[in-house]
Chains A and B, each alone.
Chain A
Amino acid sequence: MAQIGTAGNQGPGIRSDCYISLKLKNNGGIKINLTSKVDALYKESIQDLATQILDFFRVEHAVLDINDRGALPFVLAARIEAAIKQVLESDAEFWLDLIPENKYQTEKNKTRRSRLYLPGNSPKLMLNAGIHQPDAVILDLEDSVAADKKEEARLIVRNALRAVNFYGAERMVRINQLPMGLEDLEHVVPHHVNLVLIPKCESAEQVLSVDQKITQILTEKNLNYPVYIMPIIESALGVIKAFEIASASQRVAALSIGLEDYTADLGASRTLEGRESFFARNQLVNAAKAAGIQAIDSVFSDVADMDALRIVVLESKSLGFDGMGCIHPRQIKVIHGAFAPSEAEIEKAKKIVIAFEEATDKGLGVVSLGSKMIDPPVVKRALKTIAVALETGLLPGDWKDQIQK
């Protein structure tokens, strides 16, 4: 075990975070040295929280330095716990109260147009993520977290799942590549996570091992909410195995593609046109749809170029994808706009749905619009278009009444 445990971030640019340093002693009791940007308003509350956590882990003699830059309690708690676990062996976990707002469950086929990546060890970015109303947030334990910060990030992500209100966004966590990812599950599954992303997925076995671990944790803890899986395909082999991955488990709700790693695996450069990944994206969409789940596109990395993003999203939609990742809140609006049904699509769908309902009322087996017969899949698509338009506010709930007027 280390002599001194340290956790968190420090430096002039750091906000809403803190840096903790803990040294165990043989005697002298607990000494807390607090330097805080907000000590005029939260000095006592920070000291109380620190004392409570030290007590919880039965630390009796130690010097705890807290350099606070306006960290919220969930951050302070995670950082202090991370520092403690570097200097003493403990399986105990200091859980904050689960806020009632975070107890929601999601549907397997819910709308997943956008999912906002949030680096797992950068709490500041998590605070307001929900206000931008992405369909989902991804608390990332994988690529955005440095190798020596993995432990700290797990605690931040765990605490965020319990204490940060994401205002209804589906709460996803990207675990590390297996087998480390299986350990990550211990820190996320008991905390009402809605979906787990498996990076660099290449086989059905990987999906199954995650599935089994999730089930095991839920059973052990006597929890019974759904936890879905979204494998991310990021290699040539993964693309070939897409269908078996997509259909490996009932938990798999969507299949996603990561184009940076995929193009690297191919030995091709990633271009704006994306010709190099055309096959992979088609294959992925096809596999996902064959398995009856959603297909989710990669992220677009130029956060300043909204026009290029719009073009990419429109192409994505035209290939059959249901959503894509985003790495900046500004991208959400563009992605939602481009995935939304167009005015013409909505108008057409309205007519078809009304014709369908009339035909059903009259007990007719065949739906027709004017002189044209409408096939069942067209009706199905129109119903989906209307559902999305209603959900995204493009169509008022009373649209049928408005037509009749």
Chain B
Amino acid sequence: MATKFVKNAVGRMIPEEINGKPVIPFQGVHGYITEGVRYAPPLPSCANYPKDGNKLVKDLKTALKESGVKSGMTISTHHHFRNGDLIANQIFQAASEMGLKDLVWFPSASFPCHEPMIEYLEDGTIHHIEGSMNGPLGRFASLGKMKGTGVLRSHGGRYQSVQDGEVVIDVAVIAAPTADPFGNANGLTGDSACGLLGFALGDSQYAHKVIVVTDNLVPFPCIPWQIQGNYVDYVVEVGQIGIPEKIISGTTRITRSPDRLFIADLTAKFCDEVGIIKDGFSFQAGAGGTSLAIGNYFGEIMREKGIKARFARGGSNQYLVDMLEEGLIDYILDGQTFDLAGVKSMRENPNHVNTSPFTSYNYHGKGNFAGLVDVVILGATEVDVNYNANVVTHSDGLLLHGIGGWQNCLFSKTVILPIPLFRDRIPIIRDEVTTICGPGELIDVIVTERGIAINPRRKDLLEKTKNSKLPIMTIEELKEEGEKICGVPEPVEFGERVIAAIKWVDGTVIDVVRQVLE
């Protein structure tokens, strides 16, 4: 039976059904309000758990068996160990050995270290992935080799889907740097310390069964308990859960590229000139080399003016921690720590606060943290002349990146994308982006090395830069400049098959990714 497609509010054709479930097309930024009640997992009773509170089982496979995992179920994992995760692959190796089929893997993000999953996707253990597909997994899915359709969500969207029951997690496996036999756990201490376990919080609360895996088992109580043992069914002790050096992301060093530093400097100047950098302001800069440089330039401007920021949103790292310790920032509200300085600071500095996607990004919260942030600096693979932006696919159509917190951050007061006008020969400003991940109405400023484009909706910013020496251009002029250098790109032909859906923060589908032809 041929799938029917409908046009959504950003003009993209969306199938009515994905993985056998009905799809709600994107209806505008605040166009879709879910009603009803929160999803709830089955009610547990302490009578059914060991009286001495010792939930230790022999190994991961035993824990999975005891959890009652069956073919077709959904298993979740988390990316606190980034590219150093050792547990997710083991789960599906065990599942494959147990002869399970058609599982759904629901990671908060995947990394190149998860390349071995391809084996389990090929042998039918995994039906599809609901989460980011970075690098090798993305390439695999792009070529149409995954049995089901991938579903990509933002960090906040992941929490939303769990809270409103769109995704039911049968088994959550939480790798924890420190835990006790009752299941209390944290990310602050132990050899694999990663800072916090915020991405696993919702899973611990909503999954039917919760397994904590640790390589640093301590006697009760494990303090602080970022994950509460009351939610946990089984605890497994293993030799190693993550490779600490790889927990530190490769992108957490300030760029040394003069071209990127130039863009960073220009972005900071723009923020200063339009009055964003003032006493008590707040900001969020991502983990990329350019973003880090921008944070650093913010620091220089604050020092010069003798002002400070009320808070900065993490991903934290050495640079942000230095600013906190210097007194340039009152608080870091942190979603994930990108290096060991971040981990240490979170452990020792009460003003370095851990947050989960529920606190900062959740669509079903009574208010949205992101809207309190004055300026957020994000990346993109492409932007179109209507300011719609893409973060997941490249211009050749390959799905190579996840959404992360990107969509959620678009709700901040000013959203700036500092990006080069072209990468190699690929121009970044397009007539239409390959995949829409964020609608143009939420994206305010594009900073490139050859000019700055301000979304015409932001009349205030246009007004403030009217007599500026900054290279303000229209987005069409920027596009033209890029095409003058690179040439006008030829249209790309895609296969018919939809290989992944891109969810908006409210659970609707904003775009789909098509198969790339080999």
A-side residues, CB < 8 A to B, are: 15-16, 37-38, 40-45, 69-73, 127-128, 131-132, 165, 328-330, 393
Contacts and interface: CB of A to CB of B under 8 A. Distances in A.
B486 A72 contact: yes
Contacts of A40: 395-397, 490, 492
Contact of B489 (A42, A69, A393): A42
A45 B488 CA distance: 9
A16 to B, nearest CB: 6
A41 B490 CA distance: 5
Contacts of B492: 40-41
Contacts of B459: none
B424 A69 contact: yes
B143 to A, nearest CB: 14
Given A40-B395, A42-B425, A70-B425, A330 B489 contact: no
A40 to B, nearest CB: 4
B469 to A, nearest CB: 7
Contacts of B487: 42, 45, 73
B396 A41 contact: yes
Interface residues of B, number: 20
Contacts of A72: 425, 485-486
A37 B395 contact: no
Contact of A132 (B262, B423, B485, B490): B262
A334 to B, nearest CB: 12
Interface in B361-419: 395-397
B468 to A, nearest CB: 13
A330 B261 CA distance: 9
A167 to B, nearest CB: 8
B426 interface: yes
B490 A43 contact: yes
Interface in B445-495: 449-450, 469, 485-487, 489-490, 492
B259 interface: yes
Nearest to A43: B490
Contacts of A132: 258, 262
Given A37-B425, A44-B490, A131-B449, 5 more contacts: A16-B425, A38-B424, A41-B489, A42-B486, A330-B258
A254 B396 CA distance: 49
Interface in B251-271: 258-259, 261-262
Contacts of B449: 128, 131
A42 B489 CA distance: 6
B482 to A, nearest CB: 12
Nearest to A70: B424
A167 B490 CA distance: 27
Would you call the interface of chain B mostly helix, strand, loop, or mixed? loop
A45 B396 CA distance: 15
Nearest to A69: B424
B322 to A, nearest CB: 19
Interface in B214-260: 258-259
A52 to B, nearest CB: 14
Contacts of B485: 72, 127, 165
Given A128-B449, A131-B449, A41 B258 contact: no
A interface, by DSSP: helix, strand, loop or mixed?
Answer: loop
A335 to B, nearest CB: 14
B426 A38 contact: yes
Query: Which 10 residue pairs spanning A and B have beta carbons closest together?
Result: A70-B424, A40-B396, A329-B258, A41-B489, A70-B425, A128-B259, A131-B449, A38-B425, A40-B492, A45-B487
A131 B425 CA distance: 17
Nearest to B516: A40
A43 B492 CA distance: 10
Nearest to B259: A128
B426 A328 contact: no
Contact of B426 (A41, A45, A131, A330): A41
A70 B258 contact: no
A114 B396 CA distance: 40
A107 B423 CA distance: 35
A127 to B, nearest CB: 8
B450 A131 contact: yes
A42 B469 CA distance: 35
A297 to B, nearest CB: 21
Given A70-B425, A71-B425, A393-B469, A42 B490 contact: yes
Contacts of A42: 425, 486-487, 489-490
A127 B424 CA distance: 10
Contact of B424 (A37, A165, A329): A37
A16 B395 contact: no
A328 B258 contact: yes
Contacts of B426: 38, 41, 70
9 contacts: A16-B424, A38-B425, A41-B396, A42-B425, A69-B424, A70-B424, A128-B258, A128-B259, A328-B258
A45 B486 CA distance: 10
Contacts of B259: 128, 131, 329
Contacts of A128: 258-259, 262, 449
A308 B424 CA distance: 34
Contacts of A127: 485
A132 B423 CA distance: 17
Contacts of B423: 70
A128 B424 CA distance: 11
A239 B4 CA distance: 81
A138 B261 CA distance: 22
A328 B257 CA distance: 10
Nearest to B265: A333
Nearest to A40: B396
Which residue, of A41, A45, A73, A127, has the highest number of chain B Cβ atoms within 10 A?
A41
Contacts of A16: 424-425
A118 to B, nearest CB: 12
A161 to B, nearest CB: 16
A236 B513 CA distance: 67
Contacts of B424: 15-16, 37-38, 69-70
A165 B486 CA distance: 12
B25 to A, nearest CB: 27
A165 B424 CA distance: 16
B3 to A, nearest CB: 25
Contacts of B395: 40-41
A42 B425 CA distance: 9
Nearest to A73: B487
Given A38-B425, A40-B397, A128-B449, A45 B490 contact: yes
Nearest to A133: B262
A304 to B, nearest CB: 9
Nearest to B489: A41
A131 B257 CA distance: 13
B262 A131 contact: yes
Interface centre among B258, B262, B426, B492 (most CB of A within 10 A): B258
Nearest to A45: B487
Contacts of A69: 424
A127 B481 CA distance: 13
A393 B470 CA distance: 13
Contacts of B258: 128, 132, 328-330
Contacts of A71: 425
Contacts of B262: 128, 131-132, 329
Nearest to A74: B485
A304 B262 CA distance: 16
A15 B259 CA distance: 15
Contacts of A165: 485
A71 to B, nearest CB: 7
Interface in B160-193: none
A367 to B, nearest CB: 33
A137 to B, nearest CB: 13
Nearest to B260: A128
